[in-house]
A = this chain, B = another copy of it.
Amino acid sequence: MYCVGVDLGGTNIKAGVVSLDGRIIESSIIRTRRDKKYTVVVDDIAKQILRLLSSVGISMDEVDHIGIGVPGVVYNARGVVVRAVNVNFSDVPMRDEFKKYFDVPLYIENDANCAALAESKFGVAKDYNNSIMITLGTGIGGGIIINREIYRGVNCAAGELGHMSIVAKGRTCSCGRRGCWEMYASATALKNLAIKTVSRNKQSKIYDIVNGDIKRVESRAVFAAAKNGDVVAIKVLGEYMSYLSLGIVNLINIFQPDVVVIGGGISNAGEYFLKKVCEAVEKSNEMGQDLEKRTIIKLARLGNDAGILGAAFLEKGV
């Protein structure tokens, strides 16, 4: 038997046929037609799955279930997507729609939860019961794994870690609150901070890296310049790390998880990035100093596969 995992994103849809031991047999990517009605998107996904199965010679009889990760709030018990702004879904009865194509169980889940589950089952958190995954991207996605299962809360909307406010009366977030963590510690926040700082400090190596085109500044350039000793980049990273670590220490004080897993584009900066995060967390986690066991911080391992793998291994949900 096999399972199918689908990672529905605002730009692309990734789907994969997965063995029961967590190996992706084959996967494919198509564009998300987010300007179309949900029935069209579901039709696209269904055809993508059928093409995949056909190409590896696996019949629907051999598929135990299908799981789908969606970038939004999902009532997985009813199979309904409450809202997913990036794909223009609002109150979409996704499971019912899929039933028109497939006669196997269909599980739907928030995509950040899928990624957290994947790292917990197959990635860097697989030796631990309790893990928190944060994904640093446009915003900050969050997934909470307790006793090796996704923690969903009363309405399946738990884990909005990016919308923990860390600056009372701070920057206004798209969610309507002020001072949300993601306004200060997402990849977007780092990029904005770097652009603002470099435009006032054109002697910075960051300026050279982007050939003077300040709009092209991204986290990658900041890390590259900082590694080369650029003082402006080091200052930008220092400020960014103070906010990133503040939120992580909050999560440690709240959950004391076995492990905090960091994913998303920024984490591609690798060991250099991880070292900076650990240093900043250590500095401000004074309450934890005398504790025997302490939360470990790790970089996500599964990258783009996390969405497919997590979706493929969703359980029945609440």
Digit string of A284-304 for contact with B (CB within 8 Å is 1, else 0)?
101110111111000000000
Instruction: Kindly report how many copies of this chain are found in the complex they form together.
Output: 2
Residues of A in contact, count (CB < 8 Å) = 52
Interface pair A175/B287, CB less than 8 Å apart = yes
Q: 1/0 per residue A49-86: CB within 8 Å of B?
A: 00000000000000000000000010100000011000
Q: Decide if A294 touches B155 in the complex (CB within 8 Å).
A: yes
**Which of A10-18, A26-34, A193-201, A249-257 makes up part of the contact surface?**
A249-257
A176-B284, A284-B177 are known contacts. Are A164 and B253 too (CB-CB below 8 A)?
A: yes
Q: Which of B159, B166, B294 contacts A154 (CB 8 A)?
A: B294
| Contacts known (A154-B257, A287-B176); A242 close to B163, Cβ less than 8 A | no
- Which residues of chain B come closer than 8 Å to A210, judged between CB atoms? none
Note all chain B residues with C-beta closer than 8 A to A284.
176-177
Residue ranges of A at the interface with B (Cβ–Cβ < 8 Å): 73, 75, 82-83, 130, 142, 144, 146, 151-161, 163-168, 170, 175-177, 179, 184, 242-243, 246, 249-250, 253-258, 284, 286-288, 290-295
